[in-house]
Amino acid sequence: MLEVKRAVFKHNQRMKALEKLCLSGAYRAGEILDEGELYSIKSSLPCWREGVKYEPLCAVTYDSRVYKCIQAHTSVSSWVPTDTPTLWELVVPEHEGSLRDPVPAMDGLRYFKDKYYLENDTLYLCVRDDTGDGTVLYTLPSTLVDDYFVIVK
């Protein structure tokens, strides 16, 4: 029964996000939807393609992940979202970043000072933010201990 309730809840979240996007008439999903809403409509987002003009805040899927464009560009084969941190930002489901609800660590994620991240059952606290608006890092916390992170447990 709990699984059915979770499935209904996820479906309702997805439908609300899609309705919000459709009613706005906006081309750029990231302008209207937060990260959790974007992730909930993952299967409805377009796949990244070469030769497409992308504008800031538009969202795509690539390699089973959701990305939000952060700089206008026309895509070329070597500018895939996983390899171009100046063009794309990884979108993940929302987590508080607290001890109780740490954010799963991933390469390409925007990390925020004073938030907690979980990598392979190890908890890290981010202690540095280069911009004041989070820092996108294309490496995991375990490789940046004493620079961006401290191990909590």
76-91 residue pLDDT tens: 999 999 888 889 988 8
Q: Give the span between the Cα atoms of 64 and 45, in whole angstroms.
A: 11
Between residues 133 and 114, which one has the greater pLDDT? 114
Half-sphere exposure of 92 (CA within 13 A, CB side): 16
| Mean pLDDT, rounded, of the chain | 81
Q: Give the span between the Cα atoms of 117 and 99, in whole angstroms.
A: 9
Domain map of the chain by residue range? Answer: 2-91, 103-151
Domain 2-91, CATH homologous superfamily name and number: Carbohydrate-binding module superfamily 5/12 (2.10.10.20)
Model confidence at 1: pLDDT above 80: no
- 16-55 residue pLDDT tens: 555 544 444 445 677 777 777 777 778 888 889 999 888 8
Give the model's pLDDT for residue 122. 96
